[in-house]
Amino acid sequence: MKSLITRRKSLLVAASAALALSLSACGGGSTTTPPVASASFEAGTTMQKLNEAQKITIGTKFDQPLFGQKGLDGKPVGFDVEMGKAIAAKLGIPEDKIEWVETVSQNRESFIEQGRVDLVIATYTINDARKEKVAFAGPYYEAGQALLVNKDDNSITKPEDVTGKKVCSVTGSTPAKTIAEKYNAEVVPAATYTACLEPLRNKQVVAVTTDNVILAGYVDKEPDAFKLASDETFTKEPYGIGLKKDDTVFRNWINDQLEEFAKDDTYKKAWEATAGKVIKTVPELPTIDRY
Amino acid sequence: MDAVIASLPQYWDGFLRTLYLSVISGIIALLVGTLLAAMRVSPVAALRGFSMFYVEVARNTPLTIIFFFAAIVLPRLGVRFEQFEVAAIIALSSYTAAFIAEAVRSGVNSVPVGQAEAARSVGMTFTQVLGFIVLPQAVRTVIPPLINILIALVKNSSVAGAFFVLELFGYGRQLSNDYGNQVLWILLGVAFFYLLITVPLGLLAHFVERKVAIAR
Amino acid sequence: MTSVLYDVPGPKARLYSLLGSAAGILIILGILAIAVVTLAQQGIFDADRWEIFYGPMAPDVWSLIGQGILSTLAAAAVAAVIAFPLGIALCLLRISLIPWIRIPTQVVLEFLRGMPVVLMMLFVLLVFATGQFQAVVVGLVLYNAAIFAEILRAGIQSLPKGQREAGLAIGLRSFQSRMSIEFPQAVRRMLPSLIAQLVVLLKDTSLGYIVGYEELLRKIQIMADFLGPDFLFPAFFVGAAIYILINLTVSRIAIMIERRGSKKAAGGMASAIKTVDLEVNVPGTDKK
């Protein structure tokens, strides 16, 4: 009983700490923010336009722990958000001039096409179908699909183990499609990934599936309740930065910046401040796909 | 357009599940709603009070919250179900029952007082008056509003798509992600299948309404 | 009506009724107690779960809830303000004497009424790539305008024929008669239904949860996601209570207006004249 109470206490403490963190980030005291460059760009490029406007709109997820999650103060935090800040800084735009817009899985392409956002950094997997409508810089990270199971469940170690069983995922997401079509699991659709945790806890589903980094966030929050079925992933999800399809100059420029972030430790710092709290190994920047 | 044709199996599956949710919830809601209406006019104060309280709260709670309660809070209370459809049916029928109770009650009130007085004067008890005289007459005026409530139920079942049940709306979301470039057609397809249920019901309501009006 | 269904209960019946009531209350209390105990076993009532509402985090938590309430009310208010005039316009088109205006309108209305609101929201969100707020508002407007139109049409049809005939007889054009004679009466007659529909509209803003609009329920979810799942239940209970309170308040207002209206209707001709008199003289009464 005592340990239960302390666990809960520690949770509360963790929550307050997270809050304090987000508050301090709001106050501008964040250590991860790179210095704003006083860059100048060739006239007519997107970089020059954004730099001149001193404003950039970035679409991100608001419900993905470690990558893009909205804090209590209304500002998103996570690795995607740090990437956005770093790119904005290279454009000479300070952090408080970034407008964050929530993009959900279904509206990312249309938001880019209609110019509602300048960039989408939202655990956005690069694939050929999407490349028909938008362009991708990066990948800046390679995730993979994994399974989250109850701590005491050792019967599931690989995706084949969930064939014919109930697996929860977000309605219409790519992981839901994969687990249903490739492994014949029965998909239980939910509005958000966090909503999936309840049926898992109650053993109404055997697993929750999505990208490993997102699931790691849940394991981090409740290590006594959940675990990853395996450290192996069964798909490759290269995350890219989405932008207008024909803007090759901007795409190449972002790719250059990403390589620079890897060299000057911006990438490492961004990781350590966010996802690195759970996944200790700092990933290598994947080879940029300059198509 | 071809995306819609390619997805017909999914549409059909979703359509059947929407129909299933609506029919089962509709039957339960009709029974519970009538019972609530009877409680509302009964001599026992506690029954009246309970019915009033239930109807008032259920009608003023957003359906999304009721779904959240049925699908996420109830399992925590130990009410576990294998099929998530059960949670959806609980949510839909407990919400709809309140509206049905209100409709039936106003139907009861629309029956001329003389009917009940006559029945009572020949010595019928409360249950007999209600069961043999008042409710059968109330049904006529009540049917059009009841059909409208059932139409609303079919449409409300779409909320289940966000709470672990893959019905028409859930498939709509899934398909619109699969075919990102044909969202318009995909969603119009979903709309078509909903109309396939709601429009005939609406026509039926109009028809019954006209018939009742003539009979009066 | 209800009182003629049974005798005024005698002493024995009153006793049974009392015993029955007591038993009923006990059963309900028992179910509640089981629920409370089950929840308590899971630590839901532990003080540290609720500390978010009064502890050091309370200002942030409440400001988040406040924002949620505001977004809920904002979406409902904007939608209502647009939907009402649109509903009047649709109603006019629907009862137009010209068939090629009336029939297409009827088709559109049937389409809108047969569609789940949340599907319309998703449609606007994905096809027009709007923000979530616009999607919620447009979805609510389209659906509720259709319902308002139907309510008003029913109101106009319930008016005695003589109203319109008298209007036309004194030389008003059809449209003038609609606007200055029939609509004001229809609106008054249908006021309870119209307000009931407003409550539905307010409730339907919670569908924004599904399309990602940050109304109250979504804010609650975001808060719980951020703080950890232990706080989902306290947050949910508070959110649900606030939602129900807001809706109950609006419903109460609706009932009050309905009572006021029915008193007027019940008074017959003489008192109707008096009320008209009154309304002309009392300042602040809505009379145009």
Of C24, C123, C243, the CB nearest to B62: C243
Give the pLDDT band of residue B28 (cuts 50, 70, 90).
Answer: very high
Residues of chain B positioned with their CB less than 8 A from the CB of A107 = none
Q: How much of chain C exceeds pLDDT 90, in percent?
A: 29
End-to-end CA distance of chain A: 58
Residue B101 in this model has a pLDDT that exceeds 50: yes
Read off the amino acid at residue A162: V
- What interhelical angle do C99-113 and C132-157 show, nearest 10? 120
The pLDDT value recorded for residue B74 is 84
Encode pLDDT of C94-125 as tens digits.
988 889 999 999 999 989 988 999 999 999 98
Predicted TM-score (pTM) of the model is: 0.81
B33/A contact by beta carbon, under 8 A: no
Model confidence band, residue C69 (pLDDT cutoffs 50, 70, 90): very high
Q: How far apart are CA A257 and CA A98, in angstroms?
A: 18
Picking from A109, A171, A204, the nearest residue to B170 by CB comes out as A171
Check B64 against C206: CB less than 8 A apart: yes
Dmax (CA) for chain A in angstroms is 66
CA distance B174 to chain A (A): 3
**Which of C48, C49, C122 minimizes the C-alpha distance to B190?**
C122
CA distances from C258 to A208, C220, C252, C263 (A): 50, 34, 10, 9
Q: Convert the pLDDT of each residue in B108-124 to its tens digit.
A: 888 888 888 888 888 88
Backbone phi, psi, residue C10, to 5°:
-85, -175
**Which 3 state secondary structure label does DSSP give A210?**
strand
Q: Which chains touch A (3 or more CB pairs under 8 A)?
A: B, C
pLDDT of residue A20: 41
Cβ distance of C21 and B45 shorter than 8 Å: yes
Integer Cα distance of B132 and B137 in angstroms: 9
Return the residue of C nearest to A22 by Cα.
C226
Provide the β-strand partners of residue A137: A241
B112: closest chain C residue by CA: C1
Tell me which DSSP letter residue B182 carries: G
Q: Residue A65: list chain C partners with CB under 8 A.
A: 225
Residue B43 pLDDT > 90: no
Question: Residues 6 or more apart from A217 whose CB is under 8 A from it?
Answer: A64, A65, A66, A278
Confidence of residue B215 (pLDDT cuts 50, 70, 90): low
Scanning the structure block, which residue is given the tokens 């029952």?
B97
Ranges of residues in chain A with a pLDDT under 70 are: 1-39
Provide the token pair at B135. Answer: 């409710």
What pLDDT is stored for residue A36 in this prediction? 67
Q: Is the peptide bond before A286 cis (omega within 30 degrees of 0)?
A: no
Q: Tell me what pLDDT residue A10 has.
A: 43
From chain C, pick out residues whose CB is under 8 angstroms from the CB of A107.
Answer: 125-126, 129
**Separation between Cα atoms, residue B95 and residue A278, nearest integer Å:** 42
Identify any residues that bridge with A101 across adjacent strands, giving them in sequence order: A59
Secondary structure in 3-state letters for C5-17: HCCCCCHHHHHHH
C116 to chain B, any CB pair closer than 8 A? The answer is yes
Distance CA A136, CA A149 (A): 32
Q: Are strands A207-211 and A145-150 parallel, antiparallel or unpaired?
A: antiparallel
Q: Which of C156, C5, C26, C170 is nearest to C91 (CA)?
A: C156
Residues in B closer than 8 angstroms to A188, CB to CB, are 84, 164, 166
User: Is the pLDDT higher at C248 or at A171?
Assistant: C248
Instruction: Evaluate if residue B48 carries a pLDDT over 80.
Output: yes
The pLDDT of residue B86 is 93
Tally A–C CB contacts below 8 A: 77
Residue B153 has pLDDT above 90, yes or no: yes
Amino acid B139: pLDDT: 80
Taking only the tens place, the pLDDT of each residue in C18-65 is 888 888 888 888 988 888 888 788 777 777 778 778 877 788 888 888
d(CA A1, CA C149): 60
B66 token code pair: 């009721």
Closest among C95, C122, B178, B180 to A134, alpha carbons compared: B180
3 state DSSP class of B125: coil
Beta strands across the sheet bearing A134-143: A98-102, A56-60, A119-120, A237-244, A134-143
Partnered with residue A145 across adjacent β-strands are A211
State the ipTM, two decimals. 0.88
pLDDT at A118: 92
Averaged pLDDT for residues C229-238 = 82
In chain A, the domains with their CATH numbers are 46-142+238-277 (3.40.190.10), 145-228 (3.40.190.10)
Provide the pLDDT for residue C1.
Answer: 52
Q: How confident is the prediction for chain C on average, in pLDDT?
A: 82
Looking at every residue in chain B, the average pLDDT score rounds to 88
C44 touches C233 (CB < 8 A): yes
CA neighbor of B154 nearest in space, from B189, B196, B103, B186? B196
Q: What is the pLDDT of residues A252-262, one digit of tens each?
A: 999 999 998 98
C276 pLDDT more than 60: no
Residue in A with minimal Cα distance to C233: A198
